[in-house]
Amino acid sequence: MNRVILPLIWVAAWLPAPALSAQTPDTLPPAASDEDYSQYEHVQFADDGARSYCHPKILDLAPQRFVSIGWDAQASYRMQSSALGEYQGDDDPAVAEESDVRYTGGLRLTANVPVVSRNSVVWQVGANYWDVRYDLNPVFALSESAGLHARLADRGLRTLGLNTTVFKPLDAKQFLYVQAGADLNGDYTFSDFQPLRYLRYSAAVVWGKRPSDYKQWGIGLSRTYRVGELNYLPVLLFNWTSPNRKWGVETLLPARAHVRRTFSPRSLMLAGFELEGQSYRIEALSDGDNSFEIRRSELRIRLEYQRQIAGFFWVSAQTGLRNDWRFHGDELEGGRDFFRGFFGDQPYAMLNNLGNALYLNIGVHLVSP
Amino acid sequence: MRTLLLLFCCFFSIALHAQAEADKLIGVWEPSNGKARVKVEKIGAKYFGKIVWLREPNDPQTNQPKVDKNNPDESLRNTPLKGYRILKDFVYTGKGEWTEGVIYDPENGSTYSCVIKMKDDNTLDIRGYIGVKALGRTDVWKRMQVTGK
Amino acid sequence: MDNKGKILTLLLATVLSLICIVVGLPLLFFSCGSTQTEVLTVTGIELSAEGPLFSGSNTAQGICRAELDAWLKSRGKTSAEVREVRLTRAQVYVPDTTNLDGLASVTLMFASDNIDMQTMGALNPIPAGQHRIDIPVAQAQQQIKWFVVQPAFSVVLDADLKADSDAGLGMKADLEFSVSIHQ
């Protein structure tokens, strides 16, 4: 019986081998012999075709960053502050405190992780931590000064934020982009943490079109702190790549606008500006439940070079002029933020004036596919 | 003897079934953007997919057939895109999933780790990712049937 | 610690660093050892695709048996002593007197069940009237050693045909590898 069974088992053991285990080259199947390439023009979906959705990006956009570690530093400038009081933005109060700021800068960490990333929807959750340290040399401080400069030198400013973005393609050409974020900004430290009720919320909704791989645009509305204080601003998205793929434009107004020069899929240069801002609570100047907040906003006119170093790791170097947009202080009653907009007449609690400064930003990034 | 024969038959049919399941990947597929069609074939025990059709076969700049001009290896930038193998080295690991392969994006010259999951006989979820599957993007590919000229 | 202590610590650290450099660098240099590079040639690899074939990219396949073990044995070496293998030359030709004018381009790959497929070179376009072509080999080559140490691996040639062909493809390939071996 064994003479029958053993060969049978042996055969059985080997029959599936070509499919299930490594196949030796000797058993290669015959090479394809029916490659009529014109036939692939005459095809139809075996069932319903996949619904086409537009891609979140266009060709050659600067790569999106999953993880980013950067360092930002500003050259020296002069900082002047008024005493605490009530001022309109265009007032010119006496300077109560003046310092030469020798260094402003610190670490910037950001992370964006896709929770869902399909062609039909992309949902990302991100976190960021920015640290701004001040090294300053006081020129003078009158007795009525609030002591802001000393506080900045002692504690610096910090931003810790969470954000989420959803890109929802509506069809092959249209999309919806929704972003929301919550940031805790202030002079807190991790051992002396700021209460979460001082979180500041921002959001944006953009509807757009992506007519081709070379162009996308969109319009929307944002609740933003980029101008330092709460504001509601229209958003204009416009990304474009030239047909020869050497030039492009990357714009998300009012946040940023850049002209791009693409040297290769692995290196590019951006020239343009970014508006950066947040509202920072200064604990020492906050009275009781009130929140004294520095409405920091700066326009950065800049040149940035990005290139791949290995695989999906990229480096960037950015330099330009940091232009003071606003650094005024507001006293928020009960810590509740308010909307002043461009035309409101609510008074500031402190007016500050910062000289402009050159700055440098370098970073290493893990970029997205 | 009967039991052994029965066992043999069971084993044989399971093996054939597994092979048939694995070979379901073979065919012509279209990514959701409709820009290309990719024919998946088997070489040895692995599955490979090459571009067999391009919606825009010619480079608008040169008006010549598109080549792999973004390849990180300069010496391969003249390789024609039609016929290019963008899916490589996929191994069937059961449960309608092919892993251990890579997918190449000719638009930026990047190669990503990739896993293919068959949602139904005519639909594939193709996820390209870097390092861990969470850092990636899934596209839906649909099977195409050749209808003749 | 007083100033004297600091100076002594600094001196000690400097001396230790110098010792590390003086002793470590030669050790590092000699531990790498020297290598010799030899040429391994595999000729007459048959690449075939059965006809009829249609215009466009068609796949011809063949088996490369580099027999590296025997080749190394004749030099008194083993595969463990092989440091690196690179493909330095790839020629494809038709065995008869015809030429390769029917092909628009070719892409050469190595494949194996155990190793990831690698594109080894491409020629586009193919010069007219050639009976034998040299395919420029890829600059980036990885793991070629692991293809060659196997008893056999697949050579895949994607050939872009200019027109339909009933005859199929019958070509041969000669491959030249540089093998770096530890002395």
Distance from CA of A305 to the nearest CA of B (A): 18
DSSP letter assigned to residue A75: -
Q: What span, in angstroms and rounded, lies between the C-alpha atoms of A58 and A36?
A: 33
3-class SS at B91?
strand
The per-residue pLDDT for A32 is 44
- Is A288:A302 a contact under the CB 8 Å cutoff? no
Considering Cα of B12, then B16, then B17, then B18, what sign does the dihedral take?
positive
Distance from CA of A348 to the nearest CA of B (A): 45
The crossing angle, in degrees rounded to 10, of helices B2-22 and A2-14 is 10
Residues in C touching B78 (Cβ below 8 Å): 122-124
Q: What span, in angstroms and rounded, lies between the C-alpha atoms of C50 and A90?
A: 84
3-class SS at C14?
helix
- The backbone torsions φ and ψ at residue C2, rounded to the nearest 5 degrees and listed phi first, read -80, 175
pLDDT bin (cut points 50, 70, 90) of residue C56 is confident
Residue pLDDT, tens place only, A227-257: 999 999 999 999 999 999 999 999 999 999 9
Q: Does B76 touch chain A (CB under 8 A)?
A: no
Considering Cα of A247, then A118, then B30, then B90, what sign does the dihedral take?
positive
Judged by CB atoms closer than 8 Å, whether chains meet at C107 and B84 is answered as yes
Q: Which of A24, A36, A39 sits opposite C152 (nearest CB)?
A: A24
3-class SS at A147?
coil
In this prediction, residues A201-222 reach a mean pLDDT of: 96
Q: What span, in angstroms and rounded, lies between the C-alpha atoms of C44 and C92?
A: 9
Residues in C touching A19 (Cβ below 8 Å): none
Residue pLDDT, tens place only, A99-111: 999 999 999 999 9
Residue pLDDT, tens place only, C147-175: 998 889 999 999 988 888 777 888 999 99
Q: Which of C104, C113, C117 sits opposite B45 (nearest CB)?
A: C113
Both tokens assigned to A149: 């400069």
Question: Is A35's pLDDT higher than 80?
Answer: no
Both tokens assigned to C149: 């140490």
3-class SS at B64?
coil
Residue type (1 letter), A119: N
Q: Which residue has the tokens 């008074």?
A: A347
Judged by CB atoms closer than 8 Å, whether chains meet at C59 and A31 is answered as yes
Q: In 3D, which of A110, A231, A172, A283 has the Cα closest to residue B32?
A: A172
Both tokens assigned to C72: 């190394």
Q: What span, in angstroms and rounded, lies between the C-alpha atoms of C136 and C31?
A: 35
Residues in A touching B6 (Cβ below 8 Å): none
Q: Which of B8, B134, B149 sits opposite A114 (nearest CB)?
A: B134
Q: What span, in angstroms and rounded, lies between the C-alpha atoms of A351 and A295?
A: 10
| pLDDT in single tens digits along all 149 residues of chain B | 566 666 655 555 655 566 788 999 999 999 988 889 999 999 888 999 999 999 999 988 888 899 999 998 888 999 999 999 999 999 999 999 999 999 999 988 999 999 999 999 999 999 999 988 888 999 999 998 866 54
Residues in C touching A38 (Cβ below 8 Å): 54-56
Residues in C touching B67 (Cβ below 8 Å): 124
Both tokens assigned to C27: 């050790």
Q: What span, in angstroms and rounded, lies between the C-alpha atoms of A263 and A269?
A: 8
Residue pLDDT, tens place only, A62-73: 999 999 999 999
DSSP-H helix ranges across chain A: 2-14, 17-20, 148-155
Q: What span, in angstroms and rounded, lies between the C-alpha atoms of A83 and A96?
A: 5
What DSSP element (H or E) covers C49? Answer: strand C35-49
The per-residue pLDDT for A26 is 40
Q: Does B88 touch chain C (CB under 8 A)?
A: yes
Cβ under 8 Å to C: B residues 14-43: 41, 43
Mean pLDDT of chain A: 88
Distance from CA of C20 to the nearest CA of B (A): 37
Both tokens assigned to B11: 């084993």
- Is A168:A176 a contact under the CB 8 Å cutoff? yes
The per-residue pLDDT for C34 is 79
Q: What span, in angstroms and rounded, lies between the C-alpha atoms of B140 and B142?
A: 7
Distance from CA of C97 to the nearest CA of B (A): 27
Residues in A touching B23 (Cβ below 8 Å): 19
3-class SS at B46?
strand
Q: What span, in angstroms and rounded, lies between the C-alpha atoms of B120 and B125?
A: 10
Distance from CA of B129 to the nearest CA of A (A): 7
Q: Does A246 touch chain B (CB under 8 A)?
A: no
Q: What span, in angstroms and rounded, lies between the C-alpha atoms of A229 and A321?
A: 22
The per-residue pLDDT for C13 is 66
Cβ under 8 Å to A: B residues 50-69: 52-53, 60-61
Residues in B touching C140 (Cβ below 8 Å): 72-73
In sequence order, what E strands does chain B have? 27-30, 36-43, 46-54, 85-92, 97-105, 110-120, 123-130, 132-146
Separation in Å, CA A233 to CA A10, A141, A201, A255 = 76, 37, 14, 10
The per-residue pLDDT for A25 is 43
Q: What span, in angstroms and rounded, lies between the C-alpha atoms of B86 and B38?
A: 8
Q: What span, in angstroms and rounded, lies between the C-alpha atoms of A56 and C65?
A: 47
Judged by CB atoms closer than 8 Å, whether chains meet at A265 and B130 is answered as no
User: Quick check: ipTM above 0.95?
Assistant: no
Residues of A contacting chain C (CB within 8 angstroms): 22-26, 28, 30-39
- Is C142:C180 a contact under the CB 8 Å cutoff? no
Q: Does A310 touch chain B (CB under 8 A)?
A: no
The per-residue pLDDT for C180 is 92
To the nearest 10°, the Cα dihedral for C138, C142, C145, C149? Answer: -100
The gap from C-alpha A75 to its chain's centroid, in whole angstroms, comes to: 23
Closest residue on chain C to A19 (Cα): C113
Judged by CB atoms closer than 8 Å, whether chains meet at B102 and C116 is answered as yes
Q: What span, in angstroms and rounded, lies between the C-alpha atoms of A336 and A334?
A: 5
Instruction: Label residue A264 exposed, middle or buried (CB < 10 Å: 0-12, 13-18, 19+).
Output: middle
